[in-house]
Copies of this chain bind each other. A is one copy, B any other.
Amino acid sequence: MATTESNAGKDIARHLEKGMKRNTYLDLKPLAKARDLWFSAIEESGFALGEEKVALPDSRGRITARIVQANLSSPPFHAAAMDGIAVRAEDTFGASPRRPLDLQIGRQAFWINTGQKLPEGCNAVIMIEHLVASPSGESVRIERAAFPWQHVRKLGEDMVSSEILLAPGTRIGPYEIGALAAARVLAVPVCKKPVVAIIPSGSEIVPLMRASEEALREGRCWPEFNSLIFASLVEEAGAQAVVRDIVPDDPDLLRKAVQGALADGADIVLLNAGSSAGSRDYTAHVIGSLGKVLVHGVAVMPGKPAVLGLVDGHPVLGAPGYPVSATIVVEEFLLPLLARLQHTLPKSRQKVSARLCQALPSRPGMEERIRVKLGDVDGTMMAVPLARGAGTVTSLSRADGMLTIPASCEGLDAGAAVSVALLRPEERIQSALLAIGSHDNTLDLLDSLVRRRTSLGCSLTSVHVGSLGGLRAIEQGQCHLAGSHLLNMEDGVYNRQAIMDNISRPVILMRLVDRVQGFMVRPGNPLNIQGIRDLVREDVTFINRQRGSGTRVLLDCLLGKEGLKPQAIKGYTAEEFTHMNVAAAVLSGRADVGLGVLASARALGLDFIPVGVEEYDLVIPRRFWEDERMQALVATIRSDEFKEQVLAMGGYGVEKTGQIVWEYQGRDK
Residues of A that sit less than 8 Å from B by CB: 3, 5-6, 8-9, 11-13, 15-17, 21-23, 39, 55-57, 60, 67, 71-79, 81, 83-84, 105, 110-117, 119-121, 128-129, 131, 133, 137, 153-169, 173-179, 181-182, 184, 186, 208-209, 213, 216-219, 222-223, 225-226, 228-233, 235-236, 278-280, 321, 323, 327, 340, 343, 345, 347-348, 350, 387, 389, 391-399, 423, 425-428, 441, 444-445, 447-448, 451-452, 455, 457, 459, 578, 580-581, 584, 588-590, 599-600, 602-604
Contacts and interface: CB of A to CB of B under 8 A. Distances in A.
A579 B60 CA distance: 33
Contact of A228 (B21, B157, B178, B600): B178
Contacts of A166: 397
A590 B90 CA distance: 15
A117 B212 CA distance: 16
Given A111-B8, A445-B67, A459 B78 contact: no
Nearest to A73: B603
B451 A580 contact: no
Nearest to A350: B350
Given A128-B15, A397-B166, A157 B222 contact: no
Given A56-B209, A57-B209, A590 B121 contact: yes
A584 B394 contact: no
B81 A391 contact: yes
Contacts of A279: 83
Contacts of A11: 113
A587 B76 CA distance: 12
A128 B443 CA distance: 41
B154 A113 contact: no
A5 B445 contact: no
25 contacts: A8-B111, A15-B128, A39-B455, A55-B209, A76-B217, A77-B219, A83-B278, A158-B387, A158-B394, A161-B604, A162-B602, A163-B441, A164-B444, A169-B452, A174-B230, A174-B236, A174-B327, A178-B323, A178-B393, A179-B397, A181-B208, A184-B216, A343-B452, A345-B457, A348-B426
A160 B9 CA distance: 30
A76 B113 CA distance: 70
A168 B448 contact: yes
A224 to B, nearest CB: 9
A448 B391 CA distance: 43
Nearest to A323: B178
Given A158-B391, A182-B394, 15 more contacts: A8-B112, A12-B84, A15-B83, A55-B209, A56-B209, A56-B228, A74-B394, A81-B389, A116-B219, A162-B599, A174-B232, A179-B393, A179-B396, A186-B208, A345-B427
A451 B60 contact: no
User: Which 7 A-B pairs give the minimum distances between C-beta atoms?
Assistant: A117-B219, A9-B111, A181-B225, A164-B444, A179-B397, A175-B396, A161-B603
Contacts of A604: 73, 155, 161
B217 A72 contact: yes
A69 to B, nearest CB: 9
A582 to B, nearest CB: 11
B340 A455 contact: yes
A9 B181 contact: no
Given A164-B448, A391-B153, A178 B229 contact: yes
Contacts of A392: 157-158
Given A178-B228, A179-B396, A451-B169, A599 B12 contact: no
A82 B514 CA distance: 40
Contact of A225 (B182, B213, B232): B182
Given A174-B229, A181-B229, A225-B181, A168 B236 contact: no
A545 to B, nearest CB: 15
Contact of A348 (B57, B110, B181, B427): B427
Contacts of A160: 580, 599-600, 603
Contact of A120 (B12, B154, B168, B588): B588
A467 to B, nearest CB: 19
Nearest to A222: B115
A501 B72 CA distance: 39
Contacts of A161: 602-604
A553 B347 CA distance: 47
A17 B131 CA distance: 11
Nearest to A78: B584
